[in-house]
Amino acid sequence: MLNIVLFGPPGAGKGTQSERLITKYGLVHLSTGDIFRANIGGQTELGILAKSFMDKGALVPDEVTINMLQNEVNKQADAKGFIFDGFPRTNAQAQALDDFLATKNTSIALMVALDVEENELKQRLMKRAEVSGRADDANPEVIQNRIQVYKNETAPVKAYYEAQDKFVSINGLGDIDQISERLYEAIDAVVS
């Protein structure tokens, strides 16, 4: 199995690049944000709970997020591997993911971060709001909060994978194809 964590702040391009990676490597894309939004759309209990956090730009509690992620992985018995997009976002989630994958005799091969500076992120998110219809993209205060939450709670996850010698960062600026090429290079270096 090939399991990759695609890492980076909101607006770094994780969703766009995940689409490329699943095609190139034949992996299953698991975006916790997308799964929460699908639950909000379906007005499930999980969706109603998640929405109350997402609308503020806060993280959904670890226990809820971890359980949901594990259920989604378990639905994909035939997967050759996964692109985890937007997960793990806390060290507790990273630890839970390692423990869970170990029960399946697999592990994370690499965390690849998309490096994009803050002003560019804000501009991208405001622009994305015009097409995404996401309330959390449209409100500057919520965007600021998401970036702050990223810095406080999510950025430390980098050190978790660095300690395992599994972290690499690439430049997330420029042409979408160029960024994909940088990602392929980083992934191929560990795969082959």
Residues at the contact surface with ligand AMP, assessed by CB under 6 A: 10, 32-33, 36, 53-54, 57-60, 65, 86-87, 89, 93, 136, 146
User: With left for phi above 0 and alpha for psi between -120 and 50, is residue 173 left, alpha or beta?
Assistant: beta
Active-site residue, from 37, 89, 124, 182: 89
Residues 116/13, Cβ–Cβ less than 8 Å:
yes
Least distance (Å) between residue 158 CB and ligand AMP: 15
Least distance (Å) between residue 94 CB and ligand AMP: 10
Q: Which is nearer to ligand AMP, 110 or 136 (CB)?
A: 136
- As a whole number of angstroms, the distance between CA 105 and CA 100 comes to 9
Q: Which is nearer to ligand AMP, 158 or 181 (CB)?
A: 158
- As a whole number of angstroms, the distance between CA 82 and CA 5 comes to 8
Q: Which is nearer to ligand AMP, 148 or 191 (CB)?
A: 148
89 carries an active-site annotation: yes
Q: Which is nearer to ligand AMP, 70 or 181 (CB)?
A: 70
Report the candidate in 146, 151, 147, 153 with the shortest Cα–Cα distance to residue 53: 146
146 carries an active-site annotation: yes
Least distance (Å) between residue 53 CB and ligand AMP: 5
182 carries an active-site annotation: no
Least distance (Å) between residue 172 CB and ligand AMP: 15
- As a whole number of angstroms, the distance between CA 53 and CA 60 comes to 6
Report the residue closest to ligand AMP, judged by CB. Answer: 33
Residues 73/30, Cβ–Cβ less than 8 Å:
yes
Residues 87/70, Cβ–Cβ less than 8 Å:
no
Catalytic residue positions, numbered: 14, 89, 128, 134, 146
